[in-house]
Amino acid sequence: MTRLFRLTVPALIATAIASPAFAAGDVFFSLKNTDFVVLLAFLLFIAVLFYFKVPGLLGGMLDSRADGIKSDLDEARALREEAQSLLASYERKQKEVQDQADRIVSAAREEAKLAAEQARVDLAKSLERRMAAAEDQIASAQGAAVKAVRDQAITIAIAAARDVIAKQMTAAEGNSLIDDAIAQVDAKLH
């Protein structure tokens, strides 16, 4: 309020002194002089403003407006600092997530390499087992074939021997051989 008052009073004095009526030399203090009437109306207006404390109200409004702007600026500054801290936090989290993703990808690649190596080893072992099984089957088939050939050869030899013996042997000699075989079996069983 005092600031506005200090500015208003010198302005009024300067207006009164610099009046063109003083320069003309006519009677200034007459109600017929429009300059004087305007000056009186202006002074009355200023007096009404001071009577109703308008300069104080204007000063208070300006001060409250300045305080509101200052509080808005402080709030904006606080919000900005909070936003910057949130941004920094999100950037840290993003970096951590990116690092974690890189570690996951690296671990996945390493696991894939290990799995591929294990698959190669398992495949090699499987091939060895299959080869061994195939060799066993071949050996078994070969043994079975040899046995079948032997059995066939024995069957043929027995048949041939039977034919030869049957042609050369008499009934008495056959009975004698049967009795000898029974005696040998009986001796071995008892």
157-183 residue pLDDT tens = 787 777 777 777 777 777 887 888 888
pLDDT beyond 90 at 111: yes
Q: How far are the Cα atoms of 130, 144, 145, 147, 187 from residue 134, in angstroms, in the given order?
A: 6, 15, 16, 19, 47
DSSP secondary structure string for all residues of 62-114: HHHHHHHHHHHHHHHHHHHHHHHHHHHHHHHHHHHHHHHHHHHHHHHHHHHHH
The token duo for 108 is 């996945």
User: What integer best gives the mean pLDDT of the chain?
Assistant: 84
Q: What is the pLDDT of residue 12?
A: 59
- More reliable by pLDDT, 172 or 101: 101
Per residue in 29-88, pLDDT tens?
A: 788 889 989 999 999 999 998 899 888 888 999 999 999 999 999 999 999 999 999 999
Those residues whose C-beta lies under 8 Å from the C-beta of residue 46, and which sit 6 or more positions away, are: 8, 12
Q: What is the pLDDT of residue 170?
A: 73
Q: Which residue has the tokens 């003083």?
A: 22
- Of 8-17, 24-33, 168-177, minimum mean pLDDT range: 8-17
- More reliable by pLDDT, 12 or 112: 112
Share of the chain above pLDDT 70, in %: 86
Q: What is the pLDDT of residue 119?
A: 92
Q: What is the pLDDT of residue 115?
A: 93
Q: What is the pLDDT of residue 122?
A: 92
Q: By C-alpha distance, which of 4, 7, 8, 11 is closest to 63? A: 4
- More reliable by pLDDT, 75 or 19: 75
Q: What is the pLDDT of residue 16?
A: 58
Query: What gap in Å lies between CA 91 and CA 85, rounded to an integer?
Result: 10
Q: How far are the Cα atoms of 6, 10, 18, 20 from residue 14, in angstroms, in the given order?
A: 13, 6, 6, 12
